[in-house]
Amino acid sequence: MRTQSPEAELPFVDQPLVLGQRQFRSRLIVGTGKYRDFAETRAAVEASGAEIVTVAIRRTNLGQNPDEPNLLDFLPPERFTILPNTAGCYTAEEAVRTLRLARELLDGHNLVKLEVLGDPNTLFPNMVETLKAAEQLVAEGFDVMAYCSDDPILAKRLEAIGCVAVMPLASLIGSGMGILNPWNLRLIIEQASVPVIVDAGVGTASDAAIAMELGCDAVLMNTAIAHAKQPVLMAHAMRRAVEAGRAAYLAGRMPRKAYSADPSSPISGLIGR
Amino acid sequence: MANTPSTLTLRLNGAPEQVPVGTTVAALLERHGWLGKRVAVERNGAIVPKSAYEATILCDGDVLEIVVAVGGG
């Protein structure tokens, strides 16, 4: 099933999302974890319109039948840009080793999602290790998209190191709590010269729209779609939300006013006066 | 796990494994059905490129990681 391209629905042609040397039309990046099976994963990815999908790198299960279906059979790298992550890594060293393996696994593909965790309960990022890993990976020729806290100073630092995107959390991974600190996000967006992608914390479509209205360049999500009651329908909603938020951002919202004495309907020509 | 003169012991994905002396990375992958599948191999902390599977002969005490892509965010 081939869904309509974003341009077909928007009354204008948007700038592409640029990540290193690569360009994308979709501004929604989706994860592939927590689905019931690979068929549901694929259906949700299709409905989301995403061109980039994240994957994790894990040890082969040596007891398992090697002929069992593989995720990449359902999401072929020829069709989707596969974004390997370092989820579950707690040190720079583990993250760098994982992504070197990923690059080998994906035939030299160098666009990666760096994520170094600091705490198993909150999955909050360890920014000290993240910065260390980012330096190493950039030096080794990776295009690094870095998951980070919503600290504008550290986001700037990641950019200075050479990351191709900074990806601040909206709220904790898997929490679905939405955007807890739009002010920090706005600061990060205002100063950034690489794409800012909200990664983690989106719970429903309005959260994604708000992120895009704030001026984020893209949104990355997994659980909000995979743990919806109907994941494919939620993927559809997220696609529309990201497109709507992007269009609203570009259109430029009206200024907020505490009250208005300027109704939308004419004030003259009323009957009976 | 004690080696006989003709075996050596690896640590493969965190578990000990005995293989015949002279086993290559390609043979190890074959043994587990992973040869030709989309996997990547790290040996003692360094990547073994696909092009080196046949030529890389394993040594006693080698630490190997064999990975695949799985669903994740």
pLDDT in the model for residue A92: 98
Rounded to an integer, what distance in angstroms lies between the CA atom of residue A137 and that of residue A7? 34
Q: Does A110 touch chain B (CB under 8 A)?
A: no
Say which DSSP state B24 is in: B
Say which DSSP state A13 is in: P
All residue ranges of chain A with pLDDT < 70 are 1-11, 62-63
A62–B32 C-beta distance less than 8 A = yes
Strands B40-43 and B46-48: antiparallel
CA separation, residue A241 to residues A93, A207, A228, A244 (Å): 37, 8, 15, 5
A203, A224 in Cβ contact below 8 A?
yes
Separation in Å, CA of B43 to nearest CA in chain A: 11
For residue A34, indicate whether it is catalytic.
Answer: no
**For residue B7, what is the enclosing H or E element?**
strand B7-12
Q: Does A182 touch chain B (CB under 8 A)?
A: no
B68–A70 C-beta distance less than 8 A = yes
Here the ipTM equals 0.94
The structure tokens 């980039």 sit at A52
pLDDT in the model for residue A1: 46
**What residues have CB less than 8 Å from B59, skipping those under 6 apart?**
B8
pLDDT in the model for residue A215: 97
Say which DSSP state B57 is in: B
Query: B49: nearest CA in chain A?
Result: A104
Say which DSSP state B51 is in: G
Closest C-alpha to B26, from B63, B60, B61, B66: B66
A60–B39 C-beta distance less than 8 A = yes
Q: Does A250 touch chain B (CB under 8 A)?
A: no
From A38, A72, A105, residue closest to B40, measured CB to CB:
A105
Rounded to an integer, what distance in angstroms lies between the CA atom of residue A137 and that of residue A134? 5
Rounded to an integer, what distance in angstroms lies between the CA atom of residue A31 and that of residue B70? 11
B70–A104 C-beta distance less than 8 A = no
Rounded to an integer, what distance in angstroms lies between the CA atom of residue B61 and that of residue B16? 9
Q: Which residues pair with A165 in a beta bridge?
A: A145
B42–A100 C-beta distance less than 8 A = yes
Query: B41: nearest CA in chain A?
Result: A101
A100–B67 C-beta distance less than 8 A = no
Q: Does A78 touch chain B (CB under 8 A)?
A: no
Separation in Å, CA of B39 to nearest CA in chain A: 6
Query: A173: nearest CA in chain B?
Result: B73
**For residue A231, what is the enclosing H or E element?**
helix A231-251
CB pairs under 8 A between A and B: 104
pLDDT in the model for residue B54: 97
pLDDT in the model for residue A184: 95
Mean pLDDT by 10 residues, chain B (73 residues): 86 96 97 92 97 97 96 93
Rounded to an integer, what distance in angstroms lies between the CA atom of residue A84 and that of residue A48? 19
Among residues A113, A132, A156, A257, which one is catalytic? Answer: A113
- What type of residue sits at position A75? L
Closest C-alpha to A25, from A42, A50, A44: A50
B50–A66 C-beta distance less than 8 A = no
pLDDT in the model for residue A10: 60
pLDDT in the model for residue B1: 60
* Structure-block tokens of residue B38: 């989309």
pLDDT in the model for residue A5: 53
Closest C-alpha to A86, from A41, A40, A43, A147: A147
